[in-house]
Structure 1
């Protein structure tokens, strides 16, 4: 499939990026009191992994090409980190909103994920 065949995911991109931002902020915050190096490592991993590893056709610039399921796992990692960390560091109402946003993100991401899985293990 070419990038042209990629599903339009403008709404899911907004939710996906919002959840990434929450993960980038809340995860180190949640880990800071336990281990400063772990908090820094979590930020580096959450920001760096998707920058380095991506599925061809999903991003314009690919540093290390990976199959579609790896991109899905990275999104899932962000969603899980954002929700778990939100429940640790924020008020229950805020954490519940993050949880709802994560569910909305998954629903909106399904067409893109189907497209990524259809790419199989091609690089």
Structure 2
């Protein structure tokens, strides 16, 4: 009985995994990303540069899509396909897209729409 209480106390003191601890809120995502460009790469699909317009439009070099925020996740839809959603970890101008497999992409937030998309 005493050992189980000690183990419970130790477990309560252990830090949560970083993924669960530092995910951005919906407000933090909006503040950091909306009206700005993210340049980065996803593990599954490679490099990208996208501007996230305040009206919900995504503009890339030769494509477009739509973004939204669902809970504390940012969602992306392209070519009429259902949106996929990602949790977000922010650190200054750096961003990590967090999916069911963990960190699935990274990027840098650039102010505004420097590429004119």
Normalising by structure 1, what TM-score?
A: 0.28
Q: Which has the higher contact order (CA 8 A, sep 6+)?
A: 1
By percentage of residues, which structure has more helix?
A: 1
Normalising by structure 2, what TM-score?
A: 0.29
